[in-house]
Amino acid sequence: MNENFNLGLLGYPVSGSLSSIMHNYVLSKNNLPGKYSLIEVKDDIFLADTINDLTSQEKYIGLNITIPYKIKALDLCSDLTLEAQLTGAVNTIKYQNGILSGHNTDIYGFRQSLNQLSNIDDLENAFIIGSGGSARAVVYALTSLNLKNVIILTRNRITGESLITMANNLKVIRPQLKTTYKLILLDQLPEFIDLASSLDNSLIINASPLGNHGNELPKWLDQTFASLKNKVKYYDLNYSKNRENLSSIVLANSFNIEGIDGTSMLAYQAKLAFFYWLGLDYDYELFYKPLIDFKNSNQL
């Protein structure tokens, strides 16, 4: 590859993301003439124009899309992978020969990173907090476990109902899928907590920005953890920027609940995005190492 190329992360906010550290490390380590940047778009009315400007004359050949634009980015792509079509969400875009191709690498990232938790094949139920683009990838990835129940907690009825529709459409495509999907709105919290306390072998997944900005957590999360029964695990898709655990992980651990954050997911989804962009299939550890090195050098 002779010419310089650009990659980037587009969303809002993105200033705290470790994606640029990770990707620029991989580019440098392999002597690739590229650069990865963080690009903030504060309003969705500028999304299409921003992407068009970045990809004009192939200034940018690849973009990651993060909150709050994973669903909106779908309509801007003229070519979609099956996963992107079925989830209705795009987190990775490739630009080539005038065509924007949309992919969803969050599915792969989440499913692979689940292996960090013990005995995941024993899971029977999942409780998902949030109903945005990340939650869509989580619902899709969990189909490989064929759980009994997936309960979604959200404050947004429209995105929640859309997510339930997407989930039930997966059952049409995969008739062997026996999962029951249920939506609970935030003002129905007692029902959510009652269900969490009545089901064993459950995984709680935070697919929302909850606890990502500052360390304050809602009291209902504490109540949920306190009411849980046996064999429960917790996965926060957000990730710590230093050696300290996320506040939600600390809270889960205080109730003897095994928990992980999204660092591994970030590395796995980046590995697949890199393959889509450049056709290069590097080892996962190459993406994971700079994240851990950065965390270890940034202690609070």
Closest of 63, 28, 114 to residue 273, by C-alpha: 63
| pLDDT at 216 (0 to 100) | 79
pLDDT at residue number 230: 72
Which residues fall within 8 angstroms of residue 17, CB to CB, at 6 or more apart? 9, 38, 66
Looking at residue 31, its pLDDT comes to 96
List pLDDT tens digits, range 5-21: 999 999 999 988 999 99
Decide if 207 contacts 130 (C-beta within 8 A).
yes
Q: Which two tokens stand for residue 112?
A: 């692979």
The pLDDT assigned to 16 comes to 87
- Looking at every residue in the chain, the average pLDDT score rounds to 93
> What distances in angstroms separate CA 300 from CA 163, 213, 214, 241, one per listed residue?
37, 16, 13, 10
Could you give all domains of the chain from N- to C-terminal order, each with its CATH number? 5-104+267-297 (3.40.50.10860), 108-261 (3.40.50.720)
Please check whether residue 92 is in contact with residue 276, taking contact to mean a CB–CB distance below 8 angstroms: yes
What is residue 228's predicted lDDT score, i.e. its pLDDT? 85
**φ, ψ at 55 (rounded to 5°):** -95, -5
- Read off the pLDDT of each residue in 227-247 and give the average, rounded to a whole number: 90
Query: Residue 89 half-sphere exposure, CB side, CA atoms within 13 Å?
Result: 27
- The C-alpha R_g of the chain, in whole angstroms, comes to 19
CA 238 to chain centre: 8
Dump pLDDT digits (tens) for 40-50.
999 889 999 99
Task: Tell me the C-alpha distance between 249 and 255, whole Å.
Answer: 10
Q: Is the pLDDT of residue 58 over 90?
A: no
Please, are residues 211 and 246 in contact by the beta-carbon 8 Å criterion?
Answer: yes
Instruction: Give the integer Cα–Cα distance in Å for 35 and 222.
Output: 42
Q: What is the pLDDT of residue 2?
A: 44
Rounded mean pLDDT, 273-294: 97
Q: Which amino acid is at 16?
A: G
- What's the pLDDT at 89? 95
